[in-house]
Amino acid sequence: MDSRNILSSISDVSDDTEFHTPMPAGYKPGQCKYVVVFGTVMSGLGKGIFSSSLAKVLQDKGFSVTPIKLEGYLNRDAGTLNPFRHGEVFVLDDGMECDMDLGTYERMLNQDLSRLNFVTSGQVFSRVLEKERRGGYLGRDVQMIPHVTGEVKNCLRELAVASAADVVFVEIGGTVGDVENAYLIEAVRELAFEEGPNSVCFVALTYVVKPPMLGEQKSKPAQLNLKQLMGAGIQPHIIACRARHPVTKKVREKIAMYSSVPLDRVFSMHDVDSVYVITELLRDAGIDTAVLDHLKLSDRVNADREHERRDIWNNYIKRFREAAKPVTIGITGKYTSLRDSYASIIQALEHAGVHLGAKVRIEWIDSTELDETNVSDRVAGVDGVIVPGGFGTRGVEGKLACVKYLRENRIPYLGLCYGFQIAVVEFARNVCGLEDAQSTEINSNCAHPVIDILPEQRGITQLGGNMRLGGHDVRLTPHSTVAAMYGDASKIRLRFRHRYEVSPDYMEQIEAAGLIFSGKSPDGRIAQVLELPNDVHPYFVATQAHAELSSRPLRPDPMFVGLVRAALGQSTPESNPTSDKTAQSAKA
C-alpha cells in the first residue's frame, strides 16, 4: 500500500495514528502537481521571478497554474512591514496585503490572485490555535509535527481545490537556513511523501559568488547550502544558479556532483535586461521539459497554444529592446534608497514605455532633501514626475514643494495614493487660499483639514482596521481626461491602500477653483481620481488608488501610459491600451 492509500484511510487525527493530514472537500492526493522553489545562500535572489517565469511557461503550454508564497514571519500579513524591511506591500483585489512577489506572479501570469495565494507563519499558527480551542485535535497534544505542518499542507491543498489548477507553484520565502522556515520545508517534504511519486518537483535557487579579489566564480557557498537542504530531507530535482554573468560549466559540474542533480538540470539564471526574458532562458535550458518529465505531464502539452503565446510574449521583449524614444521620469519619495519599495511603479513605467516605444529612465528624488529652494534643480532634466504612496510625516513638505513646482511649470505629474492627497493639499493652499490646509495625518489641529479620516472611521482603533484596502469600483466623469484614457469608460476598478480621504466639506470649494475630481466612489461621496483640464496643464492626474498594482506587460495601466505620453510631448490621449489586439489575445 503506497502513501496515498494509507492517507486515504485516515479521516483526520486520533490516538490510533500519528498521521495528521486534513484534506479539503473534493481533494484527491496526486491529482494536482506541485513545484516547490527554495532559496539558498541568501535572500533576494529572485525566487519569485524564477517561479513565476516557470509558471508562465507551463501556462503557455496549456496548463492551469497558480502560485502560493509561504512566508516564515509571524505577521498575519505584510501590511505593517516597513518598505525598508521587505520591499513594497502589494495589495490584492480582495484586500490582502502581501509580499511584492505576488505582484510578480500577477504581472507574469496575468491573473488576479487572492488571499489563498499568500500564507504566513502568523496565519498558520493562528489557524492551529483556533482549531485547538475548538477541540479540533481530539485531546491530542498539539505539535509542530504533525499538526502545524499538517496545516501548511492544508493551505496548499485548499488552494489546489479553489483554483482547480493543474500545477501549484510553491515559493518558500527567505532561505533554507532560516529557523522560521524549518517547519515549512518539513511540510513540503511530507507533501511529496503523501502525494506520491512524480507529484512534487523540488527546485533550489542558489547563488554563485565571484569575489573581486579572485576574479572567478566559486561554488562552495552553494554546495554547503544545498547540503543543508538535502539534510532536511529534500533532494532537489532542478538547481537554478543565480549570478551576474553566465555560470560556467565547471561550476555547474561541481554543483551537480555535490547535489546529485544531473548536469543538464543545473542551469544558469544570470542577470538579464528584463525579468520578462527569463521565460526564454528557461525554455532554452530545457527546464520546462525537465519539470514536465518529472511530473509526468509531457503528453498534455498544447503545442499550438504555446507557439501563439510565445510569439506574443517575444513580441513584447522585441518592442522593449527596440524602444528608442528617451524619456526620464522622476520618482519623488522617501524610500528611494531601496528600489524594491517601488517595484510595481518601476514595472508599470516599463509597461507604459514599451507600449509607446519609449525607453524610460528613472530619476530618484529623495523628498526628505527637497524644499522650495532646490526643487527646480532637483527636477531639472526630468520629463515627468511621480509622487508615490507613503505614510507618516517625513518628507511631506518636500513633496508639497515638488507638486507646486510641477503644477506651476506645467510638468507632467502622476500622483499615487499619498501623491493624490499631496496634490489636494497643495492646490488648497496655493490656489484656494487655504494657507493652513493639511492632512490630519500630518497635523491633527490644522485650520483646514482637507484630507481627513471620514466620520465612520473614527471609532476604529486597531492598526489597519480603518484602511480602505483592495479593489473598489470608481465612477468616472464623462469626457474627462481619465475617462478618455480608459476608453471612455464610465466605471473602472482600482486597488487601494490608504486611511485618509478628501474631506467632503472641502470638495465643492476645491472643484470651484478648477481642480476636477473626475473619479469618485459609486455613491459620489469619496473622491478617488483628480485632474486639471488639458488647457491648464498638459498632464496633471492623481489617484487615491495604487494604479501601478494593476499594470501588466501586455495591458499597461492607462494612467502610466498617459504620464509617459505627456512626458514625450504627445498631448492627445489615445484609447485604453487594454484594447490593444495583442493584449486581448494574451488574456489568460
The Cα–Cα gap between 9 and 24 comes to 15
User: 469 vs 4, 92, 494, 575, CA distance in Å?
Assistant: 41, 9, 10, 28
221: left (phi over 0), alpha (psi -120 to 50) or beta: alpha
The Cα–Cα gap between 134 and 216 comes to 58
Q: Which of 106, 158, 441, 548 is catalytic?
A: 548
The Cα–Cα gap between 387 and 423 comes to 9
Q: How many residues does the chain have?
A: 588
Nearest Cα residue to 364 out of 337, 345, 396? 337
Q: Which of 417, 426, 501, 537 is catalytic?
A: 417
User: 531 vs 408, 431, 505, 586, CA distance in Å?
Assistant: 14, 14, 19, 31
Helix axes 504-512, 418-430, angle to 10 degrees: 60
417 in active site: yes
Phi/psi for 238 (5° steps) reads: -140, 140
Which uninterrupted H or E stretch holds 575? none
Question: Beta partners for 66?
Answer: 168
Q: Cell digits for 223?
A: 554546495
Starting at the edge strand found earlier in the chain, the sheet holding 527-531 runs 358-366, 325-333, 384-387, 413-416, 540-543, 527-531, 516-520, 468-476, 491-498
Angle at 332 between CA 330 and CA 333, to 5 degrees: 140
Give the CA count within 13 Å in the CB-facing half-sphere of 321. 11
The Cα–Cα gap between 123 and 68 comes to 14
The Cα–Cα gap between 336 and 357 comes to 26
The Cα–Cα gap between 302 and 7 comes to 33
Task: Give the DSSP per-residue string, 402-421.
Answer: HHHHHHHTT--EEEETHHHH
Nearest Cα residue to 241 out of 221, 216, 214? 221
Please list, in sequence order, all residues whose beta carbon lies within 8 angstroms of the beta carbon of residue 430, skipping any fewer than 6 positions away.
404
548 in active site: yes
User: 213 vs 122, 216, 218, 221, 241, CA distance in Å?
Assistant: 43, 9, 12, 17, 21
Please list, in sequence order, all residues whose beta carbon lies within 8 angstroms of the beta carbon of residue 84, skipping any fewer than 6 positions away.
335, 337, 338, 341
155 in active site: no
Phi/psi for 556 (5° steps) reads: -65, 150
**Cis ω on the peptide bond leading into residue 449 (within 30° of 0)?**
no
Residues serving a catalytic function are 417, 546, 548
